[in-house]
Amino acid sequence: MKISISTILLPVLMFAYTGSKAQDITPSIPVDPETKLITYKEVVSVTGTHAELFNRAIEWVNKQYKNPTVVTKVRNPATGLIEILHRIELTNDASGVTLLSGIVDYTLKIELKEDKYRYTISGFNYKSASRDPIEHWLDKTDKAYSPVWDNYLKQVDAYSRKLIDSLKLGMQPPAAIKKDEW
């Protein structure tokens, strides 16, 4: 029985190509150029006084988090600073079963001024025997690199972007209530 080289070589080449493509898929994680830390940061313009924006932010925190008094480390209406320490639960799908793989802590800082606010999400640390910054997950040349790190980064990115969208929606001015005049 004759086996040609192309019959053997083709599956090997296809596996190598798909394997390298799977590793190249990494979410666009924002890294601060100065600190070299993963940081989501933006100044958002929205109508409202300093006090109104503070009240909207506190209302959003109370709706967003199950235990808002525990996660909120700073609530300062005078300076317009709210600081939150929370976590992201990472999962891994093994044969159709979703398993908890670990926890990443993060800090969300909301700074408020009249007609604008700034959010900063940073300080991502993988909770293990010690707190381990997740920025090393971005380095594919690391000796300890594992393809599961890309999955974890995608989860952190998706969670952070969903949190930002929720915050932006929560900070919008309330809709004017129409009086029923008849």
Give the predicted TM-score (pTM) of the model: 0.79
Residue 43: enclosing H or E segment and its boundaries?
Answer: strand 40-45
CA-based nearest residue to 38, from 126, 113, 121? 121
pLDDT digits (tens, 9 = 90+) for 21-64: 334 445 589 999 999 999 999 999 999 999 999 999 999 999 99
* Torsion region of 176: left, alpha or beta (phi above 0 gives left; psi -120 to 50 gives alpha): beta
Dihedral sign, Cα of residue 38, residue 56, residue 171, residue 90: positive
**Which pair of tokens denotes residue 17?**
């190509």
Asked if residues 53 and 171 have their Cβ atoms less than 8 Å apart, the reply is: yes
pLDDT digits (tens, 9 = 90+) for 120-129: 999 999 988 7
